[in-house]
Amino acid sequence: MSQNPYLSGNFAPVEKEITATDLSVTGSIPRELSGRLLRIGPNPVAADPDNHHWFLGNGMVHGLRLRDGRAEWYRNRFVRDDEVTEHMGWPPVAGPKREDQLGAGVANTNVIGHAGKTYAIVEAGSMPVELDYELETVARSDFEGTLPGGFTAHPKRDPDTGEIHAAVYSPAWEHIQYVVLGVDGRIRKHVDVPVSGRPMVHDCSITKNYFILLDLPVVLDGAVLEEGFRLPYRWHPEYGARVGLLPRDGDASDVIWSEVDPCYVFHPMNSYEDSDGRVVLDVIRHPKMFASDHRGPGEGPPTFDRWIVDPKGGPVKEERIDDRGQEFPRHDERLVGKPYRYGYTTGLAEGFAFGGLFKYDLREGTADVHSEGSSRSFMEPVFVPRSDDAAEDDGYVMVYVHDASTNKADVVILHAQDFTAGPVATIHLPQRVPFGFHGNWVPDAS
Ligand SMILES: [Fe+2]
């Protein structure tokens, strides 16, 4: 077995693309769920165990298609990049490329539906890759020539407009770029915000009036490559840490910066403005990142924290919501940028070991746990409302699960409002789905 933990167990890649139809189901799939539950992660074709970094493996997308209470298909497909096509002997992928991309055009971090298309997306310079409905690679995309740089793995869709807001960075830039992707699938605006180094910027957040930038001390450091590793970013606490509020209709000179204790945040859960105009930003906080482990996020489990950012100035006020290890925060995305009450996360133990799920009631200050025993590891929970006008939390939490006893995956559907009860449905997949990053429910109507 490889000594690299990100090539071992259920982090290891699967070799084949498969398609399976009419999957077996325990329980009943809610008939209102018509669409695809998509998920993506690294699935390297030629990793070197000595220096493989989890974040850099070639992308593979997994999809489960539901309709009329049936699980019609599961399929997994490589997101084709230059390394995958060469390794497999497949034809090259068309579409634009950038010189400053990290890696070989890999798109492995998130998969979204937007403007009637499906995209595999990633940060740090590589282009989005358009996929067809059945997850075959179509081409790299720069949104019809409108994307000024690379893109991000974490776009935020404003529920009032349908537009996507995102923070883009590049190893070649000393700025963070705010971009707005219109409902027509074209970038309509970008603002370059100067910063004092080249930070890794994994995610962002929005409120009614602000776009929120995270300028945190994981920064470009070429010496990491000289040490034999592949992801040239390292923990540099002396860089400092700050949160920026960019008025959504403002420019770079309008950003309000607030200092915060050095830490790293891959993922906010959500953010909003309170009745005093302060920004409430809920985050998964890592005390440090890429300080000692240069193969993955192996600096110990993070916590769930609430940050209060005052546009009038002063440092960020920090509160701990839960000190239990967790990641992959999600919520009801009809409330992106707005006051919200409920959130869902994946429990994490030492070694980035996936566990059960948490559900938070942030108004009551309570948390529920859904676990199905130590052999079943839950990945990122995705909330799907029962109908467009259902109340917050009135819907389903859908999640891919690895079962160590069978070494296969299931998709579990929970009633969000009855979180600790058994699943509404468990859909049994014919192979395992490696631990990866993110995914989304893409309803057929979108
Ligand atoms: Fe992420």
Residue 389 has pLDDT above 70, yes or no: yes
Residue 412's closest CA among 374, 375, 367, 376? 376
- Ligand 1 centre distance from Cα of residue 267 (Å): 6
Looking from the CA of 400 toward its CB, the CA atoms found within 13 Å total 31
Each residue of 188-223: pLDDT tens digit?
999 999 999 999 999 999 999 999 999 999 999 999
- Predicted pLDDT at 272: 98
Domain ranges, residue 167: 5-443
Compute the distance from residue 302 Cα to the ligand 1 centre, in Å.
14
CA of 284 to the centre of ligand 1 (A): 11
Query: What's the gap in Å between 231 CA and the centre of ligand 1?
Result: 16
Say which CATH number the domain at 138 has.
2.120.10.30
> Cα separation of 121 and 143, whole Å?
12
Give the pLDDT of residue 1. Answer: 41
> What distances in angstroms separate CA 401 from CA 223, 377, 443, one per listed residue?
37, 5, 21
> What pLDDT does 399 receive?
98
- The pLDDT score that the predictor gives to residue 445 is 76
Q: Global pTM? A: 0.97
Give mean pLDDT, residues 326-332: 98
The sign of the CA dihedral 239, 240, 243, 249 is negative
pLDDT at 446 over 70: no
Residue 328 CA to ligand 1 center (angstroms) comes to 7
pLDDT in tens, 35-87: 999 999 999 999 999 999 999 999 999 999 999 999 999 999 999 999 999 99
Q: Containing H/E element for 82?
A: helix 82-88
The mean pLDDT of the chain is 96
- CA 329 to ligand 1 centroid distance, Å: 9
Ligand 1 centroid distance, CA of 264 (Å) = 12
Q: How far, in Å, from the CA of 54 to the mean position of ligand 1?
A: 12
Q: How far is the CA of 344 from the centre of ligand 1 (A)?
A: 15
Mean pLDDT of 389-408: 98
Domains in the chain: how many in total? 1
Rounded distance from Cα 26 to ligand 1 centre (Å): 30
3-state secondary structure at position 169: coil
Distance 276 CA to ligand 1 centre (A): 30
Ligand 1 mean position, distance from CA 313 (Å): 28
**Percent of the chain beyond pLDDT 90?**
95
Beta strands 317-322 and 303-309, pairing class: antiparallel
Distance in Å, CA 347 to ligand 1 centroid: 15
Q: How far is the CA of 174 from the centre of ligand 1 (A)?
A: 21
Q: Confidence band (pLDDT; 50, 70, 90) for 351?
A: confident
Percent of the chain beyond pLDDT 70?
A: 99
pLDDT over threshold 90, residue 98: no
CA of 89 to the centre of ligand 1 (A): 30
Return the minimum-mean-pLDDT range out of 120-124, 298-302, 433-437.
298-302
Compute CA distances 210 → 155, 271, 356, 432, whole Å: 15, 10, 33, 40
Q: How far apart are CA 152 and CA 150, in angstroms?
A: 7
* CA 45 / ligand 1 centre spacing (Å): 21
Question: From CA 356, how far away is CA 399, in angstroms rounded?
Answer: 11
Report how far ligand 1's centroid is from the alpha carbon of 178 (Å). Answer: 17
The token pair that represents 310 in the structure block: 């005052």
On the question of pLDDT at 347 being above 60, the answer is: yes
Rounded to an integer, the average pLDDT of 406-431 is 97
Condensed to tens digits (0 to 9), the pLDDT of residues 234-278 reads: 999 999 999 999 999 999 999 999 999 999 999 999 999 999 999
Centroid of ligand 1 to alpha carbon of 439 (angstroms): 10
Q: How confident is the model at residue 101 (pLDDT cuts 50, 70, 90)?
A: confident
